[in-house]
Structure 1
Amino acid sequence: MSAARNLRSEDQFLCSICLDVFTDPVSTPCGHNFCKNCISLNWNINVPCKCPMCKEAFTPRPYLRVNTFISEMVAQFKSAQQEARSRRSEQRRAKPGEVPCDVCTGTKLKALKSCLVCLASYCETHLEPHLTASRLKRHQLIDPVENLEGRMCTKHDKPLELFSNTDQTCVCVLCTVLDHKTHDVVPLKEECEGKKAELGKTEAELQQMIQKRRLKIQEIKHSVDLCKENADREIAEGVQVFTTLMASVQRRLNELINAIKIRQKTTEKQAEGFIKELEQEVSELMKRRTEVEQLSCSEDHLHVLQSFPSLKDAPPTKDWTEVSVPPPSYQGTVVRAVAQLEETLSKEMRKLLEAELKRVQQYAVDVTLDPDTAHPELILSDDGKQVNHGHVRKTLPNNLERFSHYNFVLGKQSFSSGRFYFEVQVKGKPKWNLGVCRESIDRKGYITLRPQNGNWTISLRNGNEYKALDDPPVRLSLKSQPQKVGVFVDYEEGLVSFYDVDAAALIYCFTGFSFTEKLLPFFSPCRNDGGKNSAPLIIFPVNQTA
């Protein structure tokens, strides 16, 4: 509808004599409109004056004035046409990345086609001869491309229309007759279809790679979300715990201050009573002294003699010799308050450790002992959950995985990412080693258990000497002897932690390491020692009571 209205509007502004848009439009008495110059020339030739449209004659010749209303409408129409042409020209202008017309001067319009014969690209206007002229219609037109010279054979100046499978290069017709006469040559289209099939496979591979990476992005984003959730939870728990601790500290401080102030006030009250009593006695003694002074100065002999018996002795008073107000002793008050605070802190710490232990127990894995790694003197249970030292060295294959010099055995399961946790009963054993090690640990030579050699372990010797086999080893002071030890590993964090499961206490933590190999659970029940250390190390399911 809009296009139709525009066409009708354009027809209304066309002069029927010159068939162009009105110039200085005038109206004849019959109501038709013409260019002023066009109708004037017409009437100069044709007499009498007639309307070219309806043939109505006018006598005398009308005096014509420019129709200002139509003139203004024509001006608006021309302006709109100019704006429309400008918009169309702007839309057709070659933008960055588009092929420009090689014929356009000034503003380069976007090319619609490229000619392989002319080696030029043409916009809509300049393409017209190739669509109408019979000689140019035979030219090969393609979608617009740049560097048309690169599509011509540099040796024979002919279009590259064929492909040599022998040389894997594009050639022209003359090349097949001269330089590539015996070569396997096929049309570009045929070779292109084969290459497109290969591209289809490549596209499928790329799509698969893209999909995998998108899934990895989602996985990483999910990990970030989990990280934020964990961080928020830890912060919330930390705030709650430290708020409780600060409140407890403040409460204990207030209790300490109140206790000291009460003792201080009691002492002050006792002292105030003594002072009041003493001041009363002083007042009475001063009164008696005044009476004695007055009697001594009296000239009334009879009065002196009569009053003497009652004033010769001091009034009865309290013996203050043994009375004193020693300052109260606050010895031990602060110590007792700190001890009570320490007890509160210990309770809160135990709660924290219990919560932490529950969290790491969520990463529990099913670990079984690997008989192919066990030293020949070790005895493993059929289910692979227990190990102790025997007295006899068994004859076993000396495979690469087996330990030859030390009473060590590894778990079958290995881990190269994430987190894992397992628990081992050490009850009744005065000697043992426990932890994790890297897969490449030396299994044939003599080694020292420490992180530099690929071991993260703790040990017990002589029933009460606990050590973390760090570098240097760290002697551990434990409040109780663990009956069951939990081992937790966070591969990405480079962390190995040991827990006393029953006491919900942290034994030791290796931190700040960078794991690059697979890690395996590590066990050593140590030697039997004539039955003193015959109890086995037992891998227990998490949360199962021994």
Structure 2
Amino acid sequence: MAQQGLQLDEDKYSCSICLDLLKDPVTIPCGHSYCMSCIGTHWDEEDHRKIYSCPQCRETFKRKPVLKKSTILADLVEDLKKTGLRAEPDDHCYARPGDVACDVCTQRKLKAVKFCLTCPASYCEYHLQPHYDAPPLQKHKLVDPSKKLQENICPHHGEAMEMSGHPDQQWTCFLCLTDENKDHKKGSAAAEMSGKQKKLLVRRQQIQKGIWDREKEVKLLRQEVEAINASADKAVEDSEKIFTELIRLAWKRSADVQQQIRSQQESEVSRVRELQEKLEREITQLKKKDAELEKLSNSDHNRFLLNYPSLSIPSDATHSSSIKIRPLRYFEDVTTTVSELRDKLQDILRDTWTDISDAVAEVDVLLSEPEPKTRAGFLKYSQEITLNPNTANSHLLLSDGNRKATVLKQKQVQQEAPKRLMMTPKEHQGFLNRPCVAFLHATITSYTRYMPR
């Protein structure tokens, strides 16, 4: 019987995708187990959605769970394969035409070995074993199976039928004989049952319509979930592309500024160095001229007078006072301009971020608003309520512009108002069904219930 018990639990160790015993079993975060290859193939088909779900409970995971083999579950499946799977019965054990088949077997029917008069049903040797093991079932009466015996079981009461004493000699059970003595009650019972069955049919139709409506709404909600996920994925992808383009544009502008700065740097440095080299050449010439003049000043009278005219001619060298350096900050102004651009971008991003956040928060698929949880949330639905003195209870004193009601112990003397009872029952019910009026009506009723009459 241990083997049979294990066989009955085979479904617990079967994969709900391939409907076979688990192979390389893995358990996902929701607790359900599958073959590693089956759940892997299932999730590969969902890669385009970037959302992975359990085929049984439909729980979703934003990231694909890491699959690891469950060693304990794998050992259980191996033990089940070794000890739980009973050998295939011999061919003669199966029911053939003319044999009584087991009523419990769900696959190929085995031949019945006993028939239980209490159940009543036919059992093969495997399914008959509980009648030998379970104390409540041991009291059942077992007989050899027979097709004629099964035909003599009352289809209405499940009891063995016997030949009745009526002239027509019909097979019937004792409960049928008892029912025949109550024919006078059957008519009324049948009529009552027919009426209730009609009401039951109407009720079932209402329930079925409710089921159909809700299934339609569930289908709509599933479509909305898919649409929300697709829209959110596209918004994230598009936003990422736009921000990437902005970053790429900023880097391009940065590279352009660097190139312009370096180009201007080379131009200005080249101009300065050209002037510097020219001045250095002039310095060399002036030094050479000064040395010649010094040499002339130290020569004798004849030589001095002879060479003086040629050496005393002034040179055309550039005077240092002709070079003027403008008091510039060089490239500091560029840094200032870029900083101003950064500040403007920050202001734009700060202003537009509020608009973006508001646009995201305004996404609301369901029309119904969530139930408020705070006082500020309830105050959005607050209204100024005024009570009608023509319809107010005689134990209520109205004040503060008919917005305040005070409960009095003594009944007030009220004049008959022409509009006091002009409201129709339908209008009165509609008036009471208003949320604020219903709440006030319930409060007043609780107060006036215990007032003296």
Per the shorter chain, which TM-score range? 0.3 to 0.5
Highest relative contact order (Cα 8 Å, sep 6+), 1 or 2?
1
Q: TM-score, normalising length from structure 1?
A: 0.33
If each structure's helix is expressed as a fraction of its own residues, which one has the higher value? 2
If each structure's strand is expressed as a fraction of its own residues, which one has the higher value? 1
Which has more radius of gyration?
1
Q: TM-score, normalising length from structure 2?
A: 0.39
